[in-house]
Amino acid sequence: GIEKSYEAELRGSPGKKFLEKDAIGKIVKEGREVPSEPGNSLVLWLDFELQQHLERAIEDTLSRIGAKKAVGIALDPKTGGVLAMVSIPGFDSNLFSQGISKAQYEEIVSDPLHPFFNRAVSGTYPTGSTIKPLIASAALEEHIIDPDKELLTHGYIEIPNEYDPTIVYRFADNADHGLVDMRDAIAVSSNVYFYTIGGGYEDQQGLGPTRMKEYLLRFGWGAQTGIDLPSEAEGLIPDPAWKKQAKGEGWWDGDTYLFSIGQGNVLATPLQVASSFVAIANGGTLYTPRMVKEIIVKEKSEAIPPQVAREHIINPDNVEVVRDGMRQAVKWGSSVLLNQLPVSSAAKTGTA
User: Which residue in 3, 34, 5, 7 sits closest to 18, CA to CA?
Assistant: 34
Query: Are the beta carbons of 156 and 172 closer than 8 angstroms?
Result: yes
Query: Are the beta carbons of 247 and 235 closer than 8 angstroms?
Result: no
Q: Name the 3-class secondary structure at 143.
A: coil
Query: Are the beta carbons of 271 and 121 closer than 8 angstroms?
Result: yes
Q: Name the 3-class secondary structure at 126.
A: coil
List alpha helices for 110-173, DSSP H.
119-122, 132-141
Q: Go through the chain and tell me how many residues it has.
A: 352
Reported as half-sphere exposure (CB side, CA atoms, 13 A), residue 41 has a value of: 7
167-176's contacts with Cβ under 8 Å and 24+ in sequence apart are 169/253, 169/254, 171/195, 171/254, 171/257, 171/258, 174/351
- Name the DSSP letter for residue 179: E
Cα dist from 251 to 203, 257, 295, 352, whole Å: 22, 11, 49, 22
Bin 178: left if φ > 0, else alpha if -120 < ψ < 50, else beta: left
The catalytic site residues sit at: 129
How many whole angstroms separate alpha carbon 165 and alpha carbon 174?
26
